[in-house]
Structure 1
Amino acid sequence: MSSLGGDGHDGVEGDEVDTLDGLIENIETAAKVPAKRRKTGIKSTVERLSSVLYAQGALPDELARLVDLLTIRAHLDQVSLASIVRNLYPSAKVADDVVLRLVGALGHGQLKASLPLQALFLRWLIMVYHLLENPTILSQAYGVLFNLIDTAAIRPQLCHLLALITRRKHVRPFRIQAILGLSRQTGSDPNLTALLRVFKNYYPEIIVGDITKGRAASFKHPDPSWREKLDEIQRKRSERYDDGAARNGFAINHDIGRPLIGAKTLFPAVHTFHAQETSVTLEEIDSAESLAGKLEKIELPSQLVAVLADPLLQKFMLLRPDAEASSRISNWLTACLADVASGDAETGLLLDILDVVHPYALATKTLPPLLLTSMGQFLSVWDGSIKRDAVLETLSFAPLIEFDGNTLEPLEHSILDNTAASQVALLKFYTLLLRRWTATTLAAETTAAPTPAATAIPKLIEHVNNLALTLTQTSPTVGTHLDLLDFYEAAAALYSKPKLLQLIDITIPPPLLVYTLHFSQSLVVVSRLSGVLAAYKLAWEAVMSPAVARQLTRRERDQIDTFNGFLMDLCNCLWRGRAFSTTDLNAQGCHIPPPVQATLAAYVAAAAAQAGASGLSLTTAFGLSYSPLLCLQSIAHVRKLEDEEMAMILTRHGGPVTQASLGQLANRGGLKLSWQEYRAGVLRHLEAQGFPGIPELMYNTMKNLMKTRR
């Protein structure tokens, strides 16, 4: 911030006045001295204070000091005080003592603030109501505030604040009579009429007549631009500090002074009309304890569609489900969809509804059945790109359904646009869907296959197998490979649960996909692929053991030889130095045609001869020592061992490591290390470096390593 102390009017120099603390201290000092006795003016200091407050807001301690300045009678002029209030932006929560200070400054008397200043205090409380550290603090002062309602100078702001904090317990006959009497005296003041309408929401059977039908004030936010600046200050601070200020969702959103943005204007606020005096309404709930204690006595609100936007109503509907309530919500959604279909509403209405259905689905982990059944109508007007992430995440909460190639055809038709990005988006959706269905099936109490899980999940995986093969061609990148592995790791996690394995057949990835990922340029991809295959192998072993009480299906038996081929080919490449061999049992040579193998072998032999690498051949080129992905990790392990034995060795290994080179190294006074110890050490090194997949696959496949692990 540029220097603000150059006018020479306040007798303060340097950077002292550039800090909020220094500015407040200067004004506190000046407030103790009458204006005529001050040697310097205070105006420029107040201007600088307002500028700093506008730029960064006030922390809790600074806010408390400023409120003391405003509420304690001193020698500051009204213009300066009003300027401070108008720029009093809190950068954190507003503490109780600040609120009580301002409430205590209201009313009549020599020690009270002036009425114009009191109106500003009330206006400020309205604008920071959502930031109160304890929202019930104003409720506790309700009687004090209500008794000031006959003060005309502050009545508009006071009625607005009372409308915000009014709850069922505050609506009493004597207060109703007081408002009615004052309304007659003032000629039906619109502010009183609006407050009386709030009262009527709680006791419609008591407040009758035409009094609430008159002209009423509209309780809008006093200054939207001020609110935008406050949000900006709060957001900047939240980016620097995590103050844990997230809304807990155990109170109805009564923020009627702030217009809801975007789609949420479609949804009504929670109100329980026609409640009786003995009723318990959701509007009275203000904590988790209150909700738990009154759960069985709470009456359903009048407009249940608000459940889509209100966190407390969502919790209530989850804890006390009601078939009639669900039907009412569905009927509302049906009407919205019908309006769009008939042309009475714009198609954008569906996306606006989605803006609210999306957080509802995230909160409840369910999807309204109507939205699922009306998906075809929704997708017919959706372009597949607008709010794609929200649409797909919402639809991922779809319940288990019979799956075939046409089940989600409308969704795929909307999303796919001949780009790899749309295919990846669809893949991520299927990954989410598989995880949700896994959780749903695992949570089912029955041990019999819940229809249609036994058929839906295998068909879903088969469907994604085709999508995965397409992606290996349209987007052969490491990022896409990792997205593919996200899906197959979700499938492997499913097969790791004996309960699910008893219900659901194993579906393996297609061979072309496995070999494509195995020859990836990323060690992370190869490690994760190996981990997936290791998990699949454990699942096959479980199915064929007494731990899972079922027999292999015909479909599974047809896959076993193919899966054993994966294991043999990968072990031949990584461990046995026999890459692309087809002579071993189940070996498929990674599906590399013999002519291609011959060409590759000749190329590698020529490269090895030119480099003088006698141990390099096509069969060893993908092992621990020569693989482009593993050679650095392998030699790093050897270097670490040599560093530990530095005092005992005369020479280091030049690398790459082979069985013959280890023998020669020991003869020259180097590290004494057997071939088996070297390879086992490399596996341990990979695990330590965060690549556990290859070791896991080797330990679960190679018999000699199985014994070592045990």
Structure 2
Amino acid sequence: MTSPQDPDPDVDMDMDNLGIHVDDIENAAIVPAKRRKLAIKPTVERAVSVLYDRGALPEELGRLIDLVTLRSHLDQASLGSLIRNLYPAGKIDKDIVLKVVGALGHGQRKPSLPLQSLLLRWLVMVYHLLGSSAAVLFQAYAVIFNLLDTAAIRPQLCHLLALITRRKHVRPFRIQSILSLARQTGSDPALLGLLRVFKNYYPEIIVGEVTKGRAAAFKHPDLQWRVRLDEIRNQHMEHREDGIRNGFAVNHVLAGKLNRSKLSVIPHVHTPHSHENSVTLEEIEDAESFVENLDKLELPAQLVAILADPLLQKLMLLRPNAEGFSRISNWVTGCLIDVAGGDADPSLLLDLVDIVHDYVVCTKSLPPVFLAFFRTFFRMWDGRDKREAVLDTLSYVPISDDEGYQQIIGPLEQSILDGTPDSQLAILDFHTRLLRRWRVLMETSNNLPPSLRPSISALISHVNKLALTLTQTSPTVGTHLAILDFYQLTAALFSTRPLLPRVEISIPPPLLVYTLHFGHSLPVLARLCGILAVYKRAWESLMAPPTPRPLTPHEHGQIAVFNGFLMDLCNCLWRSRALAITDLNSQGCRIPRALEPVLAGYLRDMDAELALASAFGLSHAPVLSMQAIAYVREREDEQDGIRARHAGPVTQASLAQLQTRGGLVLNWHDYRAGVLGHLEKNGFGGVSELMYNTMKNLMKGKK
């Protein structure tokens, strides 16, 4: 690999502008060296330095290719230096590939053979980036093949042909041509390497001793060059990973060492036992050919390649194969046995977790083979390494009472839970993601298992206990909001009327509702009220004619508890009757009766005018009082001629007194409705949503 020269510190500020350097080189290319006024080599060195630093953008790459593929007055050393540093930072257009192919061969206007060798070497090194532009190489296969008798470029030609050869290119006359050249050259290793590629497609035709000689391995010409190319492309953020894979083509990489370490354990797609009329995955180049040959495609030798190859994943999804998944299961099981027996490094399991995660995210499915893998994996896992990948993968567990959630949640929690809030929050987040995906599945599928209802109920019941635990181990706003994320999802699930026949409404635990209600965060209170309002609509949908289904015994028992939530929160926030138990359905927020006089006495000591019944209303509640007085201030600022302002907190009596002193004219009902509107305007609409869906006088006023 050519290293760039250190740039001259005395050059101008435009030295890193590749376009300017290319302009100078293009001007010099049409002038003989003896007639140039300035030497061109320093300019070439600066261009090479820029290329090594940040690569060439598509337009710049096209101009440079023109320079190196057309005859000019530039010296061969400068042209070779440019070719060796052609790092493409963007897309390689098919016109560029066509120009390189057109520059090959003999002719007065062709580049010299050493430069052609460098151009072929460059094509090999950027082949994984060509994408659809590689079609030019397939179309020009005959042209490239017919140049094999040119010894100076034969090794590079063989390597390029090995990359682009497909079944349709392997023909008897070409096999005969290679055999003839091999005899003439004394079994050239490059030719034997190409012949072995041909043999992969037709092993029954190419036999005998001809392929047993020393053959080229077709390794990457310059791994350091590849590393620098990847760094440049990452800087330009053109691709997420080196060598983007076409979703409708096999990743044809001859050197497995180029793959990432975690993929090195996965065999690549290879179909050795093929015949004349069969179609292999290696021959598929686009979606059209994949669809046309879907029923004729042969499965590769190693089906476990499905974990890393997108085309094989599509084939197995469209043509499920029980034997194939059995082979994958045996391979995964073998890896587990090797690790457990000490024959393989434990890090192999973590690599497998990443591979399985990528597969599951790509296919949006978690086959039973991987559930079995994780059940064994949990016995060897410390619960920390690759935790996010494990949880994200298992969030695709299918809705099933037998194979999925019930069998996985116990071992999973035993591995992760260590008594810390972080581990508990990780499990909560897992359940939230799992339920979200189940909901998507329920809304998009008409063929769901009969165990759907008990599976959903079991999951929610499990999270109910986990949420109560978290309110004790981590009573923070972040934890409360994470808990509400889950219940907001359940509320949305139950309020979707087409899903009501399939699920059973399950409300949050009373202790959790009251704990969140009496918290110290307005966002928590607002979201809680909004969630309860959605739950209320779900109950109304279930009981409104025509009913989607009868209520279950469990739901009958929950209705009174849920009505108690609504009454208690309305008593606290709206009716100034906090902790009352005399109203229908009211539960007094389940505060022990012996505690009520203690709380009332504490409030009298703090403020003789503050009663326990109104201490949690819009005006006095710690999380609402600032918003309430802010609303009053806005009203006062809007009106002229006000002689007195309200000091707060607002009560029905204080509003009457304020009016007599020349203050704001506002009655008690309008004040509270205005506070609800103010909360909604500031992003806390859950409080008003619950009140307007529960209080009859507000319902009528809104109508």
Q: In the alignment, is residue 574 of structure 1 matched against residue 567 of structure 2?
A: no
SS at 1:118's partner residue? helix
**How far did residue 207 of structure 1 move?**
2.4
Distance change in 2, residues 1:558/1:173 (3 Å): same
Residue 102 of structure 1 is aligned with which of 100, 103, 128? 100
Partner residue, 2:676: 683
For residues 513-552 of structure 1, give each alpha carbon's deviation from its aligned partner in whole angstroms, at most 9, with x where no partner exists. Answer: 2122223333222222222222222222233334444333
Q: Which amino acid aligns with 1:481?
A: H
Distance change in 2, residues 1:101/1:555 (3 Å): same
Distance change in 2, residues 1:16/1:354 (3 Å): closer
- Residues 351-500 of structure 1 mapped to structure 2, 5 A cutoff: 351-402=350-401, 408-445=409-446, 450-500=449-499
Contact 2:325/2:369 (<8 A) preserved: no
Moved more, 548-557 or 265-274: 548-557
Aligned residues: 694
d(CA) in 2 for partners of 1:336, 1:6: 56
**How far did residue 382 of structure 1 move?**
1.1
Distance change in 2, residues 1:348/1:14 (3 Å): closer
- Residues 298-337 of structure 1 mapped to structure 2, 5 A cutoff: 298-337=297-336
SS at 1:211's partner residue? coil
TM normalised by structure 2 equals 0.91
**How far did residue 275 of structure 1 move?**
2.1
Contact 1:96/1:133 (<8 A) preserved: no
SS at 1:383's partner residue? coil
d(CA) in 2 for partners of 1:444, 1:548: 22
Contact 1:251/1:287 (<8 A) preserved: yes
Distance change in 2, residues 1:659/1:78 (3 Å): farther
Moved more, 401-410 or 17-26: 401-410
- Residues 48-447 of structure 1 mapped to structure 2, 5 A cutoff: 48-132=46-130, 134=132, 135-238=134-237, 249-257=247-255, 259-402=258-401, 408-445=409-446
Q: Which amino acid aligns with 1:285?
A: I
Q: In the alignment, is residue 698 of structure 1 matched against residue 696 of structure 2?
A: no
Distance change in 2, residues 1:400/1:83 (3 Å): same
Contact 1:581/1:587 (<8 A) preserved: yes
d(CA) in 2 for partners of 1:377, 1:193: 46
**How far did residue 635 of structure 1 move?**
4.1
Contact 2:148/2:158 (<8 A) preserved: yes
d(CA) in 2 for partners of 1:598, 1:228: 75
Partner residue, 1:629: 623
d(CA) in 2 for partners of 1:431, 1:391: 15
For residues 483-524 of structure 1, give each alpha carbon's deviation from its aligned partner in whole angstroms, at most 9, with x where no partner exists. Answer: 212222222222123343223322222222212222333322
d(CA) in 1 for partners of 2:233, 2:222: 17
SS at 2:274's partner residue? coil
Partner residue, 1:10: none
Q: Which amino acid aligns with 2:112?
A: S
Moved more, 399-408 or 221-230: 399-408
Contact 1:534/1:697 (<8 A) preserved: yes
**How far did residue 657 of structure 1 move?**
3.8
Contact 1:4/1:18 (<8 A) preserved: no
Moved more, 401-410 or 460-469: 401-410
Q: Which amino acid aligns with 1:334?
A: T
**How far did residue 372 of structure 1 move?**
1.2
Distance change in 2, residues 1:182/1:482 (3 Å): farther
**How far did residue 93 of structure 1 move?**
0.9
Contact 1:220/1:259 (<8 A) preserved: no
Q: Which amino acid aligns with 1:424?
A: L
**How far did residue 83 of structure 1 move?**
1.9
Q: Which amino acid aligns with 2:417?
A: L
Distance change in 2, residues 1:342/1:674 (3 Å): same
d(CA) in 2 for partners of 1:649, 1:418: 59
For residues 444-481 of structure 1, give each alpha carbon's deviation from its aligned partner in whole angstroms, at most 9, with x where no partner exists. Answer: 535xx833222222122111111111111222222222
SS at 2:37's partner residue? coil
The gaps in structure 2 that reach 5 residues or longer are none
For residues 597-620 of structure 1, give each alpha carbon's deviation from its aligned partner in whole angstroms, at most 9, with x where no partner exists. Answer: 4444444445446xxxx6x54433
Contact 1:54/1:89 (<8 A) preserved: yes
For residues 297-322 of structure 1, give each alpha carbon's deviation from its aligned partner in whole angstroms, at most 9, with x where no partner exists. Answer: 32323322211111111112112222
**How far did residue 709 of structure 1 move?**
4.2
d(CA) in 2 for partners of 1:128, 1:434: 44
Q: Compute the RMSD of aligned alpha carbons.
A: 2.9
Q: Which amino acid aligns with 1:23?
A: H
d(CA) in 1 for partners of 2:680, 2:296: 56
d(CA) in 2 for partners of 1:639, 1:3: 68
Contact 1:501/1:548 (<8 A) preserved: no
Contact 2:400/2:449 (<8 A) preserved: no
SS at 1:136's partner residue? helix
The gaps in structure 1 that reach 5 residues or longer are 8-12
d(CA) in 1 for partners of 2:648, 2:687: 21
**How far did residue 369 of structure 1 move?**
0.9
d(CA) in 2 for partners of 1:556, 1:23: 77
Residue 20 of structure 2 is aligned with which of 19, 22, 25? 22
SS at 2:378's partner residue? helix
For residues 623-657 of structure 1, give each alpha carbon's deviation from its aligned partner in whole angstroms, at most 9, with x where no partner exists. Answer: 333334333444444455555x4468666655444
**How far did residue 385 of structure 1 move?**
0.9
**How far did residue 700 of structure 1 move?**
2.0
Contact 1:5/1:14 (<8 A) preserved: no
Moved more, 63-72 or 134-143: 134-143
Partner residue, 1:34: 32
For residues 99-138 of structure 1, give each alpha carbon's deviation from its aligned partner in whole angstroms, at most 9, with x where no partner exists. Answer: 2222222222222222222222122222222322523232
Distance change in 2, residues 1:439/1:242 (3 Å): closer
Moved more, 491-500 or 229-238: 491-500
d(CA) in 2 for partners of 1:357, 1:238: 26
d(CA) in 2 for partners of 1:653, 1:159: 90
**How far did residue 248 of structure 1 move?**
5.3
Moved more, 401-410 or 27-36: 401-410
Q: Which amino acid aligns with 1:428?
A: D
d(CA) in 2 for partners of 1:697, 1:634: 17
Distance change in 2, residues 1:107/1:642 (3 Å): farther
**How far did residue 181 of structure 1 move?**
1.7
For residues 144-165 of structure 1, give each alpha carbon's deviation from its aligned partner in whole angstroms, at most 9, with x where no partner exists. Answer: 2222222222222222222222
**How far did residue 415 of structure 1 move?**
0.9
**How far did residue 395 of structure 1 move?**
1.8
**How far did residue 578 of structure 1 move?**
2.5
Contact 2:187/2:213 (<8 A) preserved: yes
For residues 201-225 of structure 1, give each alpha carbon's deviation from its aligned partner in whole angstroms, at most 9, with x where no partner exists. Answer: 2223332333333322222222222
Q: Which amino acid aligns with 1:551?
A: P
Identity of aligned residues (%): 61
For residues 331-369 of structure 1, give each alpha carbon's deviation from its aligned partner in whole angstroms, at most 9, with x where no partner exists. Answer: 322333333344433333332222211111112222121
Partner residue, 1:506: 505
d(CA) in 2 for partners of 1:256, 1:650: 87
Distance change in 2, residues 1:229/1:669 (3 Å): farther
TM normalised by structure 1 equals 0.90
d(CA) in 2 for partners of 1:669, 1:197: 100
Q: Which amino acid aligns with 1:260?
A: N
d(CA) in 2 for partners of 1:709, 1:64: 67
Contact 1:205/1:274 (<8 A) preserved: no
Distance change in 2, residues 1:636/1:278 (3 Å): farther
Contact 1:330/1:368 (<8 A) preserved: no
Distance change in 2, residues 1:250/1:677 (3 Å): farther
d(CA) in 1 for partners of 2:226, 2:596: 70
d(CA) in 2 for partners of 1:148, 1:494: 66
